[in-house]
Amino acid sequence: MDFQLTEEQIAVRDAARDFAQNVLKPGVIERDTHMKFPHEEIKQLGELGFLGMMVDPKYGGSGMDTVSYVLAMEEISKVDASTSVVMSVNNSLVCWGLEKFGTEEQKQKYLKPLASGEIIGAFCLSEPEAGSDATSQRTTAIDKGDHYLLNGTKNWITNGGNASVYLVMAQTDAEKGHRGINCLIVEKGMDGFVVGAKEDKLGIRASDTHTLLFNDVKVPKENRIGEDGFGFKFAMKTLSGGRIGIAAQALGIASGAYELSLAYSKERKAFGKEISKHQAIAFKLADMATEIEAARLLCLKAATQKDNGENFDQSSAMAKVFASETAMKTTVEAVQIHGGYGYVKEYHVERLMRDAKITQIYEGTSEVQRIVISRNVLKD
Ligand code: CAA
Ligand code: FAD
């Protein structure tokens, strides 16, 4: 596989880097401390074309490839993983699914404003009793002829409070198991739809995560994505692509922590020399650099397979599990390299360590990625 970047891909990466360093960095500590959603920053990301990166320009997107998306996600996540998760959910869980499986009417009505960044979306699969075990959906969508009657609770929903459009998985025919699940497009403001409590989290604190409650919400039939019973497959296919975004987020968190550690280790002196000249520190940097490079190649491989129209279920799971574990390990070591300074907010690495943890949990835990990978490697 050729990972030589094109001029266009380099330009996208550089634009994302400039935005992260100049726009996101100045307020990142304050937004994290006070759980302040990055409203203005997300608006600017939309103007840059980063909220519908892979969507066809005729639907308001930027028409870029998945490799460019990975490069942009890495740069944004080096600085602000709260902002990058908003970007990841909107691009790969909401816009991608709508463009790939939505009707022309759904694309005109919902995809256009989502891809141009006018509004943002949310993807609602998880429930209090159905996280990893995603086929056990309790939320119901009863077929009432021209509409579905939606009842139930979703939790942990990223963009829950700030989204305008929600893709909601719900069980229509329990006898059919996962083949009876549908995905419905729900609009904020529909009668009976309530945005519940906002979570107070360890990391990605500026991103909003909410419980959502549906009480006899009437959702028109034309808001169903795909054929009757396609909802679970829709969720799985969409998540395969989403995992590339989260892998790139984890890669960015790791490389952000590494870059800060490299610079700090050349400045900080102990026992008469820079700490980078102590082999214990130099070897940590060597391990970080090696694992980050491997994570980057896995992300680029998954993205390239997706761009080439090949199956990427296994490679996206591999990229996510490896990059997220690299992010956790690298950020813990980054705090160690910074010593006491690493433990305070001003030096950024403690936030990156807190942010890294979620990449091992959402869009399928590390254990779920190993289920996906092991089923693939064992099936032949
Ligand atoms: N593409 C298409 N279809 C797929 C598929 C894929 N990648 N993966 C599974 N399926 C299909 C299967 O073929 C099967 O259909 P048939 O029976 O018709 O063949 C059906 O889905 C059920 O598959 P399994 O039998 O493999 O299901 P399972 O119960 O064993 O679960 C699982 C498999 C991989 C663990 C899955 O439940 C899973 O991915 N769980 C994790 C859920 C998750 O990732 N949630 C993330 C929520 S979003 C989020 O987190 C966003 C955020 O934070 C920002
Ligand atoms: P559980 O499924 O209960 O898992 C608990 C533990 O058991 C985990 O370690 C898990 O790996 C392990 N486990 C479970 N089953 C197995 C098995 N078969 N083999 C081995 N180990 C297993 N969901 C959405 O739908 N949309 C969102 O936008 C969204 N955003 C999120 C944002 C945040 C900040 C958080 C915390 C979560 C978000 N989620 C979202 C939910 C997330 O996807 C789930 O938390 C995740 O899938 C795990 O589900 P769970 O929390 O129910 O854990």
Q: What is the pLDDT of residues 283-309, one digit of tens each?
A: 999 999 999 999 999 999 999 999 999
Pocket test for ligand 2, best of 156, 354, 359 (most atoms within 8 A of CB): 156
Confidence of residue 3 (pLDDT cuts 50, 70, 90): confident
291 is catalytic: no
CA–centroid distance, residue 125 to ligand 2 (Å): 10
pLDDT exceeds 80 at position 339: yes
Average pLDDT for 269-282: 98
pLDDT exceeds 80 at position 380: no
Residue-wise pLDDT for 58-96, tens only, equals 999 999 999 999 999 999 999 999 999 999 999 999 999
pLDDT exceeds 90 at position 149: yes
CATH 1.10.540.10, the chain: domain bounds: 7-120
pLDDT exceeds 90 at position 2: no
**Cβ < 6 A, ligand 2 pocket:** 89, 122-126, 131-133, 156-158, 201, 204, 209, 358, 361-365, 367-368
What per-residue confidence (pLDDT) applies to 1? Answer: 78
CATH topology of domain 7-120: Butyryl-Coa Dehydrogenase, subunit A; domain 1 (1.10.540)
CATH 1.20.140.10, the chain: domain bounds: 238-378
Q: How far apart are CA 365 and CA 353, in angstroms?
A: 17
Beta strands of the chain (E only): which ranges? 121-124, 140-143, 147-158, 165-171, 181-187, 193-198, 209-220, 269-270, 273-274
CATH 2.40.110.10, the chain: domain bounds: 122-231
CA–centroid distance, residue 315 to ligand 2 (Å): 20
**Cβ < 6 A, ligand 1 pocket:** 85, 89, 123, 125-126, 132, 134-135, 158, 178-179, 232-233, 236-237, 239-240, 313, 362-364, 368, 371-372
Q: Which CATH number fits domain 122-231: 3.20.20.70, 2.60.40.420, 1.10.357.10, 2.40.110.10?
A: 2.40.110.10
Average pLDDT for 276-281: 98
pLDDT exceeds 90 at position 53: yes
pLDDT exceeds 90 at position 234: yes
User: 143: which strand partners?
Assistant: 148
Tell me the longest C-alpha to C-alpha distance in the chain: 78
CATH topology of domain 238-378: Butyryl-CoA Dehydrogenase, subunit A; domain 3 (1.20.140)
Residue-wise pLDDT for 168-226, tens only, equals 999 999 999 999 999 999 999 999 999 999 999 999 999 999 999 999 999 999 999 99
Q: How far apart are CA 123 and CA 368, in angstroms?
A: 18
What percentage of the chain exceeds 90 in pLDDT? 99
